[in-house]
Chain A
Amino acid sequence: MSDATAELRVAFVGLPNCGKTALFNRLTGSRQKVANYPGVTVERKEGVFAASSGRRYRLLDLPGTYSLKPTTLDEAITRDVALGRVANEPRPETIVLVADATHLPLSLRLALEVRRLGLPMVIVLNMSDVARRRGFAIDRDLLSRELGAPVIETVATRSGGADALITELERLAMPEQPAAPTTAWQEPTAAEVTATHAEAGRLLELADYREPLRSRAVAVADRILMNPFAGMLILATLLFFVFQAVFSWAAWPMDLIDAGVASLADLVRGALPDGPLRSLLADGVIAGVGSVIVFLPQIVILFAFILALEDSGYLPRAAYLLDRVMGSVGLSGRAFIPLLSSFACAIPGIMATRTIPQLRDRIVTILVAPLMTCSARLPVYALLIAAFIPQRDIGVFNLQGLVLFMLYFAGVASALLVAWVAKLIAGGQSNHLLMLELPDYQWPSLRNLALGLWEKTRVFLARAGGIILALMVLLWFLSTYPAPPAGATGAAIEYSFAGQLGKALAVILAPIGFNWQIAIALIPGLAAREVAVGALGTVYALSGDEEAVTTALSSVIASEWGLATGLSLLAWYVFAPQCLATLAVVRRETNGWRYPLLMLVYLFALAYLAAFVTYRVTLAVAG
């Protein structure tokens, strides 16, 4: 096999926050493929690039780790891939060990551990520009001789900053045969860990290592941002600003998407003859896909903030600040990032729980994630608030805004409560891990931000889109068939399977004040919460474009439902697991039906209870 057609398998290994992914992005650009490792829910990130020689490289970005003795699922994958123990994953032929030049000692220790794997290794001192500006210096040739591996410098954030790595990779000979899995390797003992620390220290001294000075600004920033009072205040202000931005910036692109989807559906309606195919395409497929992508602007904006905060090094500090509060209900401070993501959509939030080392902590975080008010609830909240809550000012606050805030707050408060109950049930084990590195602050790189956003968007669309589309088609079928009998007077949906089911459900839902129209709307609303608004429009046989339906609906329900019913439905929506896509993702992430079923049952129970109390109390108070 000649080098021109050959492919070298290279795995990137490094500490968390070492700039490994930035370097990976620098080499592969958007030629990346994100999937899961078979059987586990650890993200597998692969990319390809071709050097000017024509040789091709297949790069694998392994999860960051401090050592080859894992404490999380992600870290176990790094070890298993490096050893060639993952099914259908050929062992890499070369390891690129990415070290952050601004703090070398821990990376060097990891390099010594990785060296024992017996694979060719290239050691990369990344962020060398920043490090040098702060006085970093090292004798790379000497280090390279001692380690028996080339040591080079890169700047992942600069164009051409990875050229030295490419040159080094090109020098490597193509292996005669694929790397064989190893069985000889043994987990390092505590004594060996101490020994590798000592050896790293010896090498650094030998190579005249000069530690980069930490800028005074970082120390000052930490003193303010991690102050229990000032830090908390800044965090609260920041979160307020982020949410403000998510709602105000996303408004016009969402309108645009809405209008685009509606006109596409109209186009299809005009082009096709009346019949099942037209209805399936316009009301099932296009409406289904539309209901997913309409939330993209909010999700993209929220994720842009999250990625920027993560890149800058602030998010781990937020987790530090909130650890105490979250710890008091049995959650880890690390749960903050997944729960924050869940405000956009629970699906990426649940996927982000993978960084939580303890299984119990992770499961509880997954179970409470849907209680964060995701963007799909907003259309429902907006409709009901417009119908039942008068536009009045209380002091400086607007009553409608206040109710919306209370609904958000109810979600967060109940999540804390549920976590606390889970802690009581699961028993006394209170020693949760935090052990979180607080990396130095840095400016987020736009390029990484863009690639990260693109990846999140793609994953969201692929995973949520597919499920929602399939369900929308199914629910379209249930709401369309059987057709109403000749001479029927009510809306067509009343006679369908969904209608029959809804009327049967109405008996159970009567105690919480729901009429049969609501019960019917809840069924298509299972696919995704916001669909319920359109379904209510169908039940009340309103026509016109979406905006006209929403306005008309608002006045219909204001006159036909009591205040108690409206508030009860609001309370229902704070809890009800009206999103099958979330349940499907929980099943995949926890490898079984146990937790999605538990989630379904407890959320429905809470929803029923909350709606019941709200309904009865409102009836008693307001009559």
Chain B
Amino acid sequence: MSAVAPFDDRRRLSDLAVGERARVERVLDDDSISRRLLEVGFIPGASIEIVASMWPAADPLAIRVGGSTFALRRHEAERVVIA
């Protein structure tokens, strides 16, 4: 049960499967984690692809964004809403 994420049906980066691509719609919140996500390239319109995910709970994830690859924990990826 995810008690942290708000109950809405917006798709998140964390919902993607390995190999899937999408575009960033926006990053939720404005704290230091969200700021860093923006700074490393999770900006509206950026295209992203899941490169790998760890067994068993797909946490952490490796994500290709704007020519770089980043490892994010699930709760970090949940902040990224995708189009």
Interaction A to B: yes
From residue A421, how far is it (CB to closest CB) to chain B in Å? 22
Chain A residues within an 8 Å CB radius of B52: 222-223, 226-227, 320
Closest to B19 in A: A223
A497 close to B (CB within 8 Å): no
B7 close to A (CB within 8 Å): no
Chain B residues within an 8 Å CB radius of A436: 70-71
Knowing that A227-B52, A324-B59, A438-B69 touch, tell me 5 more A-B residue pairs with CB under 8 angstroms. Answer: A69-B35, A222-B51, A431-B33, A435-B71, A435-B76
Q: In the assembly, what is the distance between CA of A228 and CA of B60, in Å?
A: 11
Interface string of B49-83 (1 = CB under 8 A from A): 00111110101101000111111110110000000
Q: Which of A219, A434, A437 contacts B40 (CB 8 A)?
A: A437
Most buried by A among B32, B55, B60, B62: B60
Query: Which residues of chain A (423-474) have a CB below 8 Å from chain B?
Result: 431-440
Q: In the assembly, what is the distance between CA of A458 and CA of B43, in Å?
A: 43
From residue A321, how far is it (CB to closest CB) to chain B in Å? 7
- In the complex with contacts A434-B71, A435-B76, A197-B43 CB distance below 8 A: yes
A211 close to B (CB within 8 Å): yes
Q: In the assembly, what is the distance between CA of A440 and CA of B64, in Å?
A: 11
- In the complex with contacts A324-B59, A433-B33, A435-B76, A105-B66 CB distance below 8 A: yes
From residue B43, how far is it (CB to closest CB) to chain A in Å? 5
From residue B77, how far is it (CB to closest CB) to chain A in Å? 10
- In the complex with contacts A433-B33, A438-B62, A327-B38 CB distance below 8 A: no
Docked-complex contact B76 and A193, CB < 8 angstroms: no
Q: In the assembly, what is the distance between CA of A324 and CA of B79, in Å?
A: 19
Q: In the assembly, what is the distance between CA of A437 and CA of B51, in Å?
A: 13
Chain B residues within an 8 Å CB radius of A320: 52, 54, 60, 62, 71
| 19 A-B contacts (beta carbon < 8 Å) | A71-B36, A103-B68, A105-B41, A106-B41, A106-B66, A190-B30, A190-B38, A194-B38, A211-B67, A222-B51, A229-B55, A320-B62, A323-B59, A434-B60, A434-B71, A435-B73, A435-B76, A438-B69, A438-B70
Closest to A66 in B: B39
B37 close to A (CB within 8 Å): yes
A67 close to B (CB within 8 Å): yes
From residue A235, how far is it (CB to closest CB) to chain B in Å? 12
From residue A302, how far is it (CB to closest CB) to chain B in Å? 24
From residue A621, how far is it (CB to closest CB) to chain B in Å? 38
Docked-complex contact B43 and A194, CB < 8 angstroms: yes
A411 close to B (CB within 8 Å): no
A596 close to B (CB within 8 Å): no
Closest to B57 in A: A324
Task: Sort chain A's interface into a size bin.
Answer: 35 or more
Chain B residues within an 8 Å CB radius of A106: 39-41, 66-68
Docked-complex contact A432 and B41, CB < 8 angstroms: no
A333 close to B (CB within 8 Å): yes
Query: Which residues of chain A (196-230) have a CB below 8 Å from chain B?
Result: 197-198, 211, 219, 222-223, 226-229
Interface string of A313-326 (1 = CB under 8 A from B): 00010011101100
Chain A residues within an 8 Å CB radius of B62: 222, 226, 320, 438
Docked-complex contact A435 and B33, CB < 8 angstroms: yes
Q: In the assembly, what is the distance between CA of A431 and CA of B35, in Å?
A: 15
Chain A residues within an 8 Å CB radius of B68: 103, 106, 437
Chain A residues within an 8 Å CB radius of B37: 435
Closest to B75 in A: A431
Docked-complex contact A323 and B60, CB < 8 angstroms: yes
Docked-complex contact B35 and A228, CB < 8 angstroms: no
From residue B65, how far is it (CB to closest CB) to chain A in Å? 10
From residue B3, how far is it (CB to closest CB) to chain A in Å? 11
From residue A71, how far is it (CB to closest CB) to chain B in Å? 6
Q: In the assembly, what is the distance between CA of A319 and CA of B73, in Å?
A: 12
- In the complex with contacts A105-B66, A228-B55, A438-B71 CB distance below 8 A: yes
Q: In the assembly, what is the distance between CA of A324 and CA of B38, in Å?
A: 24
Q: In the assembly, what is the distance between CA of A67 and CA of B40, in Å?
A: 9
Q: In the assembly, what is the distance between CA of A439 and CA of B40, in Å?
A: 13
Chain A residues within an 8 Å CB radius of B54: 228, 320-321, 323-324
From residue B68, how far is it (CB to closest CB) to chain A in Å? 5
Chain A residues within an 8 Å CB radius of B60: 320, 323-324, 333, 434
From residue A332, how far is it (CB to closest CB) to chain B in Å? 9
Closest to A193 in B: B38
Chain B residues within an 8 Å CB radius of A333: 60, 71
Chain B residues within an 8 Å CB radius of A434: 60, 71-73, 76
Q: Which of A71, A222, A437, A440 contacts B70 (CB 8 A)?
A: A437
Chain A residues within an 8 Å CB radius of B70: 435-438
Chain B residues within an 8 Å CB radius of A219: 51
Chain A residues within an 8 Å CB radius of B36: 66-67, 71, 435
From residue A573, how far is it (CB to closest CB) to chain B in Å? 35
Interface string of A96-117 (1 = CB under 8 A from B): 0000000111100100000000
Rank and list the top 9 A-B pairs by shortest CB-CB distance, nearest first: A228-B55, A226-B52, A103-B67, A438-B69, A320-B71, A434-B73, A67-B39, A436-B71, A66-B39
Docked-complex contact A327 and B40, CB < 8 angstroms: no
Q: In the assembly, what is the distance between CA of A104 and CA of B4, in Å?
A: 35
From residue B38, how far is it (CB to closest CB) to chain A in Å? 5
